[in-house]
């Protein structure tokens, strides 16, 4: 397998990106999948581990593959399986790109966060009013 895989280090420019066929980041220390989302914008299927909210940005088997962190053999198998199936990689990469374009734009983030933030502000405002009324009564 070493003759079919290489780890080139820092990649920049379109030519380098065209040489990449999948994105793998099985880290337990990365809090959010922003780099996975970046990989998907280039149409790369991603391989990652369950946890750290990856389930919120993955559709397992459609946009990439999620494996259990404590099963390195399963991780290796997923990487090799994707590597050996260019049609599956292309299909997952396209689905991954579509998911990012539809669900993870700033407009969509604002759409999802606005109701939550509005409710929080309202609760703080109501709580603050009651607090000031209570102080006046005492």
pLDDT in tens, the chain (138 residues): 566 666 666 666 654 556 678 888 887 776 666 888 888 888 889 898 887 777 778 888 999 999 998 899 999 999 999 999 999 999 999 999 999 999 888 898 889 889 998 888 888 877 766 666 566 665
Same domain, 32 and 97: yes
The pLDDT value recorded for residue 18 is: 63
The pLDDT value recorded for residue 5 is: 64
Number of domains in the chain: 2
Same domain, 52 and 4: yes
As a whole number of angstroms, the distance between CA 136 and CA 96 comes to: 56
**CATH number of the domain where residue 41 is located:** 3.40.50.2000
Same domain, 9 and 57: yes
Tokens of 106: 């700033």
Same domain, 58 and 83: yes
Same domain, 57 and 110: no
Domain extent at residue 118:
106-138
The pLDDT value recorded for residue 123 is: 81
Same domain, 52 and 115: no
Residue with tokens 């070493």: 2
Eight-state DSSP code of residue 23: E
Beta bridge partners of 48: 66
Same domain, 4 and 57: yes
The pLDDT value recorded for residue 20 is: 74
Length, in residues, of the chain:
138
Same domain, 129 and 74: no
Beta-carbon neighbour count of residue 34 at 10 Å? Answer: 11
Using alpha carbons, list the distances in angstroms from residue 3 to 80, 118, 129: 13, 55, 68
Same domain, 53 and 118: no
Same domain, 45 and 94: yes
The pLDDT value recorded for residue 96 is: 92
Same domain, 99 and 113: no
Same domain, 49 and 116: no
């Amino acid at each position: 397998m070493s003759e079919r895989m290489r780890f080139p280090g820092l990649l920049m420019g379109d030519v380098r990106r065209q040489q990449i066929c999948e994105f793998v980041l099985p880290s337990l220390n990365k809090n959010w999948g922003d780099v996975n989302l970046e990989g998907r914008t280039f149409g790369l299927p991603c391989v990652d581990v369950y946890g750290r909210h990856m389930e919120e940005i993955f559709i397992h088997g459609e946009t990439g593959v999620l494996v259990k962190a404590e099963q390195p053999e399963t991780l290796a198998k997923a990487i090799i399986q994707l590597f050996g199936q260019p049609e599956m990689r292309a299909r997952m990469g396209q689905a991954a790109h579509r998911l990012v374009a539809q669900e993870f734009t700033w407009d969509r983030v604002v759409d999802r966060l606005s109701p939550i933030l509005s409710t929080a502000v309202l609760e703080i405002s109501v709580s603050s009013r009651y607090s000031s009324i209570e102080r006046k009564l005492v």
